[in-house]
Amino acid sequence: MDPVFFLIQVLNGVQYGLLLFLIASGLTLVFGILQVINLAHGSFYMVGAYLAFWFTARSGSLWIAILGGLPLALALGFVIERLMIRFLYRRDHLTQVLLTYGLILIFNEAQRIIFGSDPHSVTVPQIFEGSIRLTDTLSYPIYRLAVSGVCLILVMAMIFVIQKTRLGMYVRAGSVNREMVQLLGVDVGQLSTLVFATGAGLAALAGMVAAPLSSVYPGIGEHILIICFVIVVIGGIGSIKGAFIAALLVGLADTFGKVVVPEFASMSVYAVMAAILLWRPQGLFGRAG
Amino acid sequence: MSRTPRILAWTALAAVILLAFLPQFADRYYIQLFTRIMSSAIFAMSLGLLVSGAGLVSLGHAMFFGLGAYLLVFFSPGDEGAAIWWALPATMAAAAIAALIIGALAVRTSGIYFIMLTLAFGEMLFYLFHDSKLLGGSDGLYVNFRPTVAAFGRDLLSLDDRPTLFYVALVLMVATYLGIGMLLKAPFGRAILGIRVNEQRMKALGYNVYAYKLVVFAIAGALAALAGFLYATQYRSVNPVLFSWRESGLVLMMVILGGLRSRLGPAIGAFALVLVQEALQAVTDDWLIAFGVFVIVVVLLLPNGLAELAGKLTPDRLAKAANDG
């Protein structure tokens, strides 16, 4: 493989992996702390992508779309946690799967009614237009680098909050032993709402920055959801570190799968997962249980 | 699981008898609809065995349904129908073997890991059939001729005849229900129920828990393939969507909506779900929203499913409720 071509694939894989981590981190934290399987997490990604489309189509700028859309997505996460997810904390996984499946149906149908079934495209912000020439024939789009940069900043900010602040300490403690944290006087209910809304916001943000890279189409959230489940399982449920490594692994596996074995590209991610789970059934950083 | 309220059992029996007369007075549309519902009911019962029998919640069960449907295509020669006497057992056996292979990995895990693993395997098969030209690609494949039911060189039944196919589905559905009942009453089934209730204790008693779970997974896979076989026989076309996780979610919904406490639950769920869908579709184009709301309301208000609703309506319970009130 040509080294420049190889470099491009690595960049693509890392960029995809970082994007996936933004989404998967919310999923793994919601499971770790709230003990809830949220199938509707991919819907937040879809909401983000369509908000980006809607705002950009009206204002002409992705920046305004993010400024306007992010508060909406956070509010949506807040409302859904307060109205529905809250009642699932003490229920079994079956009920959680069912209720959030119902949510997906509602989100998808609302999307179809409002935006129709046609794919839409979102324009790249002006300052990130164009690409960097690497050789005579190969170049790399600036916007992809920008997405990687934004994701990297968010990832570092999140790791800082989780590892270094008091709030992050509660979050980490909550994912180990929810009852104990509650006994120590932390309002776990509020913490849960915060984690869920933040997760929803991050997924929506990922949808927004990814919108110019691919078109915005119905069902966009479901494919991402399944991939994120794979990441959460590989990384070990509730583990941020695991999700990070798994996201990069999956991003690279998917990108290189498309190049090396195009016929079975979509399966490569699942093959990686199966291999890792054969070796470690609880995921890379999961607690044995 | 094993306790079915008496009123529910009698209602179910009456419903089956009523169903048997359906082709006499209903038109083609309803015969087809109910044939489809009965294959869904078999599918739901197979998952019910897994969920409420062994406590294994699978979100990828559609992979065996899809496999059953595709296997009928592969077993059908191009210019005539496959003989059902070997095609059906071969389909179920092949699905059971696939389930043993997938289960060998999946059953090692439990809880949320099992849910996600089955989901991922289902998606893997979906993409395998979706992306591979050899397996039909995204357009799927056709069954040129329905399977033949013949003995000693003479055709016994013609599955092209809609009422005949309806009765075949009815017999298979009842047989599946009774078969699962017998399985759960046998020592094997008792051990399975024991594992669901207290896995550690069964281990301590010397049961090979892993092997038991694996066998249940294989049986459930084979029964789901039976439902898929029936589906492909009815519609004569298969496509990768049959494997998709939406289908797995839908059948899981049937099982949970029907209720896990009763063995009739999954079948009740299948009938209720498809009929509610049909009714909503007739009223509005945007029926999925209403359907989503229906699901959420049932989850929040009826934790034990629709079968419990029937159980609550027994005379003595009503009297008790009245006294309590």
Domain ranges of chain B: 6-324
Q: B6-324, which class in CATH? A: mainly alpha
Residue B178's pLDDT is 93
CB contact under 8 A, B116 and A264: no
Closest to B254 (Cα-Cα) out of B62, B87, B16? B62
Helix (H) or strand (E) holding A140: strand A139-141
Residue A129 has pLDDT above 50, yes or no: yes
Residue B305's pLDDT is 66
Residue B318 has pLDDT above 80, yes or no: no
Q: How far is CA B194 from CA B55, B57, B182, B191, B198, in A?
A: 10, 16, 16, 5, 6
Return the exposure string of B117-128: e unless at least 16 CB atoms fall within 10 Å of the residue's CB, then b.
bbbbbbbbbbbb
Domain with A116, as residue range(s), is 8-279
Q: Do A51 and A62 touch, CB atoms closer than 8 A?
A: no
State the average pLDDT over residues B34-51: 94
CB contact under 8 A, A101 and B249: yes
Select the residue from A27, A33, A98, A113 to test the B interface by mutation, using most B Cβ atoms within 10 A. Answer: A98
State the average pLDDT over residues B124-133: 86
Q: Does B111 touch chain A (CB under 8 A)?
A: yes
Give Cα A60 to chain centroid, integer Å. 25
In the block, tokens 């995921």 appear at A283
Confidence class for position B1, pLDDT limits 50, 70, 90: very low
Q: Where are the alpha helices (DSSP H) in B76-110?
A: 84-106
Residue B2's pLDDT is 46
How does DSSP classify residue B155? E
Q: Does B70 touch chain A (CB under 8 A)?
A: no
Q: Where are the alpha helices (DSSP H) in B80-208?
A: 84-106, 111-131, 162-185, 187-197, 199-204
C-alpha A33/C-alpha A192 separation (Å) is 7
Confidence class for position A278, pLDDT limits 50, 70, 90: confident
Confidence class for position A119, pLDDT limits 50, 70, 90: confident
The number of distinct structural domains making up chain A is 1
- Of A200 and A221, the structure prediction assigns the larger pLDDT to A200
CB contact under 8 A, A277 and B109: yes
Residue B317 has pLDDT above 60, yes or no: no
Task: Give me the helix-helix angle, B84-106 and B111-131, nearest 10°.
Answer: 130
Residue B54's pLDDT is 84
Confidence class for position B310, pLDDT limits 50, 70, 90: low
CB contact under 8 A, B296 and A99: yes
Q: Tokens standing for A7?
A: 């470099």
C-alpha A238/C-alpha A35 separation (Å) is 9
Instruction: Give me Rg for the CA atoms of chain A.
Output: 19
DSSP assignments along B44-78, one per residue: HHHHHIIIIIH----S-THHHHHHHHHHHHHHS-T
Other beta carbons within 10 Å of B105: 14
How does DSSP classify residue A261? -
State the average pLDDT over residues B75-104: 90
Q: Tell me the per-residue pLDDT of B237-291, one tens digit each, with 9 for 90 and over.
A: 999 999 988 899 889 988 888 877 778 889 988 998 899 888 888 887 777 888 8
How does DSSP classify residue A267? H
Q: How far is CA B179 from CA B97, B170, B171, in A?
A: 20, 14, 12
Q: How confident is the prediction for chain A on average, in pLDDT?
A: 86
Q: How confident is the prediction for chain B on average, in pLDDT?
A: 85
C-alpha B130/C-alpha B139 separation (Å) is 8
C-alpha B93/C-alpha A160 separation (Å) is 54
Residue B89 has pLDDT above 90, yes or no: yes
Give Cα A227 to chain centroid, integer Å. 9
Residue B151 has pLDDT above 80, yes or no: no
Q: Does B130 touch chain A (CB under 8 A)?
A: yes
Residue A60's pLDDT is 80
Select the residue from A267, A268, A273, A285 to test the B interface by mutation, using most B Cβ atoms within 10 A. Answer: A267
Residue B226 has pLDDT above 90, yes or no: yes
Residue B114 has pLDDT above 90, yes or no: no
Burial (CB count within 10 angstroms: exposed 0-12, middle 13-18, buried 19+), residue A66: buried
Domain harbouring A230, CATH code: 1.10.3470
C-alpha A24/C-alpha A244 separation (Å) is 9
Q: Does B51 touch chain A (CB under 8 A)?
A: yes
Q: Do A20 and A247 touch, CB atoms closer than 8 A?
A: yes
Task: Give me the helix-helix angle, A3-29 and A220-235, nearest 10°.
Answer: 80
Q: Tell me the per-residue pLDDT of A10-53, one tens digit each, with 9 for 90 and over.
A: 988 999 999 999 999 888 888 877 788 888 899 999 999 999 99
Burial (CB count within 10 angstroms: exposed 0-12, middle 13-18, buried 19+), residue B316: exposed
Residue A1's pLDDT is 66
Residue B229 has pLDDT above 90, yes or no: yes
Q: Is residue A284 part of a domain?
A: no
Burial (CB count within 10 angstroms: exposed 0-12, middle 13-18, buried 19+), residue B2: middle
State the average pLDDT over residues B21-48: 91
C-alpha A56/C-alpha A76 separation (Å) is 20
Residue B308's pLDDT is 64
Q: Residue B35: what are its φ and ψ, rounded to 5°?
A: -60, -45
| A281 vs B109, B130, B293: nearest CB | B109
| A105 vs B113, B132, B291: nearest CB | B291
Residue A285's pLDDT is 83
How does DSSP classify residue B236? -
Q: Does B77 touch chain A (CB under 8 A)?
A: no
Which positions in chain A touch B101 (Cβ < 8 Å)? Answer: none
Write down how long chain A is.
289
Q: How far is CA B23 from CA A79, B16, B31, B161, B276, in A?
A: 49, 13, 6, 11, 21
Which positions in chain A touch B124 (Cβ < 8 Å)? Answer: 267, 270-271, 274
Q: Tell me the per-residue pLDDT of A209-248, one tens digit each, with 9 for 90 and over.
A: 988 888 888 888 888 888 898 898 888 887 888 899 999 9
Q: Tell me the per-residue pLDDT of A78-118, one tens digit each, with 9 for 90 and over.
A: 999 998 888 887 777 778 888 888 898 899 888 888 888 88
Residue A289's pLDDT is 42
- Of B299 and A109, the structure prediction assigns the larger pLDDT to A109
With vertex at residue A128, the alpha carbon angle to CA A124 and CA A131, rounded to the nearest 5 degrees, is 100
Q: Which of A188-192, B64-68, B140-144, B152-156 has the highest mean pLDDT?
A: B64-68
* ipTM value: 0.78
Confidence class for position B309, pLDDT limits 50, 70, 90: low
